[in-house]
């Protein structure tokens, strides 16, 4: 069910004698408040969330972490409580289901909810065990979309719901150059580029897309974001073949008008999700999908090496396209997150090895994350915007 209610989630589970914090992310007019205390085992929720931790019996040793499953109610930006009717051509399932678990740990084995296909190909079935993704270059996707430089040379962006919280991020010396809100309309008062998103191909989102995207482009938007986590059963939840049809119908028409993003996948390492899903999408597109950059999401412990390695693996799928990290957040204390960000922003902005990363946005502008209280930036919020 699509909802617009606020919710807050903190799930902390003791895994292999170590505390693991799992903060699931939110889309739509919701605010996520995270208490980063690895010694506390509790869940607070104002909508609903289910967390199950158990040993799947497949561990190779007694120190291997058990599987962790997180089920949360996520929603896109919408004023409607339920999605509009979905046609066969725009099939998408919105039934709540497990969200991806960090790549570093065992991941969910629940299959996505069934969806109606536009082609005979069935949606990928998630296997019963996490698998390592070995990234090899896939065929490049041809595109004639505009390749001109974007409105800002600043890579850092803001993922937000509440535009009233943005003013502190654009003071003197700010490194912020763009923003998005998982929606199609610019509600900001700050002077940075707004990037509209087509959250999914269902009528609820696509009916307004053409008009809103053209309006945003006329107002200065240079880029368009595509489907949000199609590999996640709790988000857009569509197979590569459905995503291909939707991308060609709704995104391809903007070739030459704006730079077009591929669907944004999670960092799940289960076959049929994450990089695996992206590879399948590139394959079924067979050069027919207009793609100018590749968005990706990442949630895992604050390990800079793991994060950067994942970015390289994503880039290997379409090595001639730049990468955007449109959601990322490490697990850990405020100090650990601050140290992680200090290293990452310097690396992504200055290390030529990662020049393929064109833009990135931390998850997210909200109290308990980049904002501490009121409109004041948190310690790592200040690092993200100004370091």
pLDDT tens-place values along the chain, 387 residues long? 333 323 333 332 332 333 333 333 433 333 333 322 323 333 333 333 333 232 333 333 333 333 322 323 333 433 333 333 334 343 433 333 333 333 332 232 223 333 323 333 333 332 322 222 233 333 333 333 334 444 468 999 999 999 999 999 999 999 999 999 999 999 999 999 999 999 999 999 999 999 999 999 999 999 999 999 999 999 999 999 999 999 999 999 999 999 999 999 999 999 999 999 999 999 999 999 999 999 999 999 999 999 999 999 999 999 999 999 999 999 999 999 999 999 999 999 999 999 999 999 999 999 999 999 888 999 999 999 999
Query: Whats the size of the chain, residue-wise?
Result: 387
∠ CA 341-345-348, nearest 5°, is 135
pTM higher than 0.75, yes or no?
no
What token pair was written down for 386? 């100004």
Phi, psi of 68 (to 5 degrees): -125, 130
Q: What dotted CATH number matches 156-386?
A: 3.20.20.80
């Amino acid at each position: 069910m699509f909802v617009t209610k606020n919710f807050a989630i903190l799930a902390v589970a003791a895994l292999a004698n170590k505390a693991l914090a799992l903060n699931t992310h939110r889309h739509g007019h919701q605010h996520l408040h995270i208490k980063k205390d690895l010694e506390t085992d509790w869940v607070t929720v104002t909508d609903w969330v289910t967390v199950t931790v158990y040993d799947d019996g497949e561990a190779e040793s007694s120190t291997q972490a058990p599987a962790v499953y997180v089920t949360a109610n996520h929603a896109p930006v919408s004023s409607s409580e339920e999605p509009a009717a979905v046609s066969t051509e725009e099939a998408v399932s919105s039934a709540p289901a497990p969200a991806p678990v960090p790549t570093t740990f065992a991941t969910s084995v629940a299959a996505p909810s069934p969806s109606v296909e536009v082609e005979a190909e069935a949606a990928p079935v998630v296997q019963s065990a996490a698998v390592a993704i070995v990234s090899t270059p896939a065929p490049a996707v041809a595109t004639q979309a505009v390749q001109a430089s974007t409105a800002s040379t600043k890579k850092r962006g803001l993922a937000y719901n509440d535009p009233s919280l943005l003013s502190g991020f654009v003071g003197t010396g700010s490194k912020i150059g763009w923003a998005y809100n998982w929606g199609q309309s610019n509600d900001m008062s700050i002077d940075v580029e707004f990037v509209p998103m087509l959250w999914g191909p269902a009528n609820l989102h696509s009916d307004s897309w053409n008009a809103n995207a053209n309006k945003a482009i006329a107002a200065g938007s240079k880029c368009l974001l595509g489907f949000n986590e199609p590999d996640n059963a709790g988000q857009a939840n569509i197979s590569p073949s459905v995503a291909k049809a939707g991308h060609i119908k709704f995104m391809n028409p903007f070739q030459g008008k704006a730079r077009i993003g591929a669907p944004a996948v999670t960092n799940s390492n289960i076959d049929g999700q994450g990089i695996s899903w992206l590879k399948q999408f590139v394959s079924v597109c067979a050069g027919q999908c207009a793609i100018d950059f590749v968005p990706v999401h990442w949630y895992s412990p604050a390990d800079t090496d793991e994060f950067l390695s994942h970015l390289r693996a994503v880039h290997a799928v379409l090595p001639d396209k730049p990468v955007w990290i449109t959601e990322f957040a490490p697990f850990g204390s405020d100090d650990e997150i601050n140290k992680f960000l200090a290293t990452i922003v310097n690396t992504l902005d200055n290390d030529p090895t990662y020049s393929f990363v064109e833009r990135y946005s931390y998850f997210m502008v909200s109290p308990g994350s980049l904002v501490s209280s009121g409109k004041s930036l948190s310690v790592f919020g200040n690092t993200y915007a100004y370091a």
